[in-house]
Amino acid sequence: MSNFLESLYSQATFNLKPSPIREMLHLIRRPGMISFAGGMPDPEIFPVEQFKEAAGILDREGKDVLQYGTTEGYLPLKEFLAEWTAPKMGRKLATDEILITTGSTQIVDLLSWVLIDKGDWVICEEPTFLGATLTMRNHGASFLTVPCDENGMKVDMIPEMVEKARKEGKKVKFIYTIVNFHNPLGCDLSLERRKKLIEIAEKYNLLILEDDPYGYVRFDGEEIPSIFSMDTSGRVVFACSFSKILAPGTRVAWCAGNKEVIRKMTVFKQGVDVCTSVVAQAMVYEYCRLGHLDSFLPKIIDHYRKKRDAMEEAFRKYLPQGEVKWLTPRGGFFYWLETPKVKAKDLFEKAVEKKVAFVLGEPFFPNGGGEHNFRMCFTFASKEQTEEGISRLGEALRELL
């Protein structure tokens, strides 16, 4: 039977790679396991009552929102986003500059349909979000990876990379960057580097996909202007989502960009899922219209700030000093740790024996690396679980050292 199927599979199927995080779910769900692996929001802070109130839109518009909707998105939600995002975007968007999608991974998928031919190249951070690179790779992309420091991607390295690649006949299409509270690094791309990135995109005729799923979940420091707000020629597609600022179960995200690019993404979306759930979009809109997004978001931020502080405190208390390196994120969901003397895979195996889990660093490196790195999510576990889990992690690390 398998030989029969192999003769029918597409080439893409033979190159298919599953998400390591999704593949870990069976492990994470073992009884007694404390997980810092999946980048999941805390269900304890989900605005259940407020969202139930938003379901009242079904009383008024149920016959409409239970019907097929436009592929571009539910117009009242787009009009709300045009106003609400104006401070971050630098201006009020036109509704035809916005596309509502089914989660932000669909933005990566649709833009890949628009821009990537098999064998094309994408510039991204090293490491970067594995969900995005898996999607791009499925479209046939390869990656030029740029190292990072506490100020994000070292953008000064990009020109030489692009010139070398083009001399070798490679087609470089766009730059993918996670600008705020990077997944997995936790750092911000500095203002200076954002400005430089726009200049580079202009000079080398590249687009920028500015992925910002965590930007509204800032704990400390001043907000840094978006790359989109600096763009004067329509080179930036900005991606964001309600997953972190409301709840991921809504599966409602949005992107903003050049009208021509948005239109082409929309046409591809017609063949992917026709439209994002109109019911979900309408309920998200009503939630926003009732003022819950603005009133509840500070509670989410405060809740996660306390969780970050609890993890930071536990690191200092339980991890062997001088043997582990990390950057304290100013927002978002993640810590990125480095253990120079211990391989993360060995630590993972020892930690799982003690019923604590994290995500290995290697899958976040599209071209290899990360053997001594791992990612820890601080948003999902309770404060007590964080304390206990990192105590166990410290034991595991000391045993290996």
Lowest mean pLDDT among 27-31, 109-113, 277-281, 379-383: 27-31
If you count DSSP H runs as helices and E runs as strands, how many of each does the chain have, helices first? Answer: 18, 14
**C-alpha dihedral (17, 22, 26, 30), degrees to nearest 10:** 140
Name residue 353's beta-bridge partners: none
Coil vs helix vs strand at 19: coil
List domains and CATH numbers for the chain: 16-45+295-400 (3.90.1150.10), 48-290 (3.40.640.10)
Other C-beta atoms within 10 Å of 1: how many? 5
pLDDT band at 28 (very low <50, low <70, confident <90, very high): low
What pLDDT does 3 receive? 79
CA pair distance 62, 66, nearest whole angstrom: 6
Which amino acid makes up residue 324?
Answer: V
Prediction pTM value: 0.96
Structure tokens given for 199: 């200049």
| Mean local confidence (pLDDT), 31-49 | 93
What distance in Å separates the CA atoms of residue 168 and residue 151, rounded to the nearest whole number? 30
